[in-house]
Chains A and B, each alone.
Chain A
Amino acid sequence: MATTLLILHGLVAVALIGAITHQALATCAPPNAKPNSFFGRFRAIPAAGFANAIVLLYLTSWLLGAVVYLYFKVDIQPTLERDRHWHAMGFLDLKEDFVVIGLGVLPAYWFCWRGTDNSQHHHLRAALTILLAFIVWWSFIVGHVMNDIRGFGS
């Protein structure tokens, strides 16, 4: 059960990281980027269309992670503490903190993207998108390291 949930959590996270990275780059790309350049192509895609999917994927990923965390606490954490993986525990602590802060920001992020007036909240929308992108990337990397910890750096 835990393995199935962890794989599902990972798959949802892959979809989420793809969507949020795409949107964040589309938001940050310079307006004068050449049409055929990498950023130009990113900007050509309507980033607002990703917002609902990102909210849904973030919530699903958080929910799956919250369930998997119960198994982690009982079955994995004692082993990590025994093996003195203190830095990994610290990074995981940060992951859980950042993810929850991102969860709280999610309604504001959704509101900023739902408006039809693109000029309104432009800076705030960019800031929240970058913040969420950072949280998702951090969580993804830490989650991967934790998943492979028995082989990582040992």
Chain B
Amino acid sequence: MPASAVRRFTFAFGAAFALFYVVARLRGLALFTVYPAQSIVLLGMHRSRDFADPVLDFLAPEMYWYGWTASAAVCALVIGLIAGLLPDRLNWFWAWCVWIIPPMAMAACVYLTIPWFRL
């Protein structure tokens, strides 16, 4: 594979990963949900309180972080592969994207975390 295609893939992957992670976190788009107490993994996003009494939620804590990461990775892989097929003249665009989007995504994550600091 030519170096320029690898460059486009890696730059687009990094930018898309950050963007889709924030989208997944914002919209709750987890590819799967992990229940560590029960050692169960369910496809898609589930909430314990949908299946059990809300007061029993602590017995089956759910984890979305792995699912969000997987969702972002799959979407970024697709964008990266598409970018790898595009012409060289778009290299500057992907370089700018990987420069700008990850810090912006981090800022968005700070915003999404604010509720913890208001408790």
Contacts and interface: CB of A to CB of B under 8 A. Distances in A.
A100 B68 contact: yes
Interface string A102-116: 011111111100010
Interface string B63-102: 1011011001100100000000000000000010011001
Interface of B: 3, 6-7, 9-11, 13-14, 16-18, 21, 25, 34, 36-37, 58, 61, 63, 65-66, 68-69, 72-73, 76, 95, 98-99, 102-103, 105-106, 109-110, 112-114, 116-117, 119
Contacts, number: 99
A69 B65 contact: yes
18 contacts: A70-B34, A86-B117, A86-B119, A93-B109, A98-B109, A100-B65, A100-B72, A101-B105, A101-B106, A104-B13, A104-B16, A104-B76, A106-B14, A108-B13, A110-B10, A111-B10, A111-B11, A127-B99
Contacts of B6: 111
A97 B95 contact: no
Contact of B36 (A70, A106, A115, A121): A70
Given A111-B6, A111-B7, A97 B14 contact: no
Main DSSP-derived SS at the B contact region:
helix
Given A66-B66, A73-B63, A101-B105, A108 B113 contact: no
Which 3 residue pairs of A and B lie closest in terms of their CB atoms, listed nearest first? A104-B17, A90-B116, A97-B109
A94 B108 CA distance: 10
A90 B76 CA distance: 26
A94 B69 contact: no
The interface centre, meaning the residue of A71, A77, A90, A121 with most chain B CB atoms within 10 A of its CB, is A90
A107 B10 contact: yes
Interface of A: 66, 69-71, 73-74, 77-78, 84, 86-87, 89-90, 93-94, 96-98, 100-101, 103-111, 115, 121, 124, 127-128, 131
B119 to A, nearest CB: 4
The interface centre, meaning the residue of B61, B63, B95, B116 with most chain A CB atoms within 10 A of its CB, is B116
B21 A104 contact: yes
Contact of A105 (B102, B109, B113, B119): B102
Nearest to B118: A86
Nearest to B116: A90
Contacts of B117: 86-87, 90
A106 to B, nearest CB: 8
Contacts of B36: 70-71, 73-74
